[in-house]
């Protein structure tokens, strides 16, 4: 058996993979693991999005992978540079949990749902369909995208493993 290459995507990070390599990120709570896949070229991309908008950025040099509004365009740019076509891209996402019970429903405390909403809105603006998602809840996830077929494997302590 041949071991497939594993490309790790850290928190507030993004990367692409092809030739059957696996993209993997762990620790998705309120963060969203957003994946894109070009089925013809078999190029996959993954972003570990922490926050919905770079408008709240306080760092001197903005980490493009940290925010939905900057991570998605950056991921698109890298995938297109590798040979993917935007019109063929399909998205899947997981995460966006509400990890802590809050007595207040203040919008600033709804990080997970806001991350999902922001990613959904940005993908819609690019006309990239979301084929499936495993978002919300109050539990963490680890995800792996197979760049040979676009299958997204989601692992959680509460629900085991599922593929979308």
Q: How many domains does the chain have?
A: 1
Active site residue 31: yes
Could you identify the residue written with the tokens 């993997």? 24
75-97 tens-digit pLDDT: 999 999 999 999 999 999 999 99
Residues 27 and 15: beta-carbon distance below 8 Å: no
Which CATH number fits the domain that encloses residue 15? 3.30.1330.200
Whether 1 maps to a domain, the answer reads: no
Binning pLDDT at 50, 70 and 90, where does residue 2 land? low
d(CA 34, CA 133): 9
Q: Return the pLDDT at 130.
A: 98
Residue 60 inside a domain? The answer is yes
**Catalytic residue from among 31, 116, 119, 143:** 31
Look at residue 143 and tell me if it is in a domain.
yes
Beta pairing class for 90-95 and 43-49:
unpaired
Read off the pLDDT band of 1 (50, 70, 90): very low
Domain that holds residue 73: 6-163
In the chain, % of residues over pLDDT 90: 85
Residue 100 domain-assigned (yes or no):
yes
68 with 28: CB under 8 angstroms? no
Q: Are strands 152-156 and 141-146 parallel, antiparallel or unpaired?
A: antiparallel
- Per-residue pLDDT band at 103 (split at 50, 70, 90): low
pLDDT (0 to 100) of residue 88: 98
CA atoms within 13 A on the CB side of 22: 13
- Whole-angstrom Cα distance, residue 53 to residue 112? 12
What pTM, to 2 d.p., does this model score? Answer: 0.92
The three-state (H, E, C) secondary structure of 100-151, written as one string: CCCCCCCHHHCHHHHHHHHHHHHHHHCCCCEEEEEECCCCCEEEEEECCCCC
CA-nearest of 94, 89, 80 to 139 is 94
Bridge pairing between strands 6-8 and 22-28: parallel
């Amino acid at each position: 058996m041949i071991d497939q290459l594993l490309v790790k995507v850290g928190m507030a990070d993004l990367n692409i993979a092809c030739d059957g390599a696996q993209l993997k990120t762990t620790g998705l709570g309120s963060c969203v693991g957003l994946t894109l896949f070009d089925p013809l070229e078999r190029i996959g991309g993954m972003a570990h999005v922490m926050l919905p908008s770079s408008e709240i950025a306080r760092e001197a040099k903005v980490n493009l992978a940290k925010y939905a509004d900057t991570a998605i365009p950056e991921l698109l740019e890298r995938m297109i540079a590798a040979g993917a076509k935007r019109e063929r891209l399909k998205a899947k996402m997981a995460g966006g949990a509400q990890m802590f019970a809050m007595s207040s429903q203040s919008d600033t405390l709804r990080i997970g749902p806001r991350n999902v909403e922001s990613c959904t809105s940005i993908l819609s603006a690019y006309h990239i369909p979301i084929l499936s998602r495993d978002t919300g809840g109050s539990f963490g996830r680890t995800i792996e995208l197979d760049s040979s077929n676009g299958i997204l494997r989601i692992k959680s302590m509460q629900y085991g493993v599922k593929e979308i």
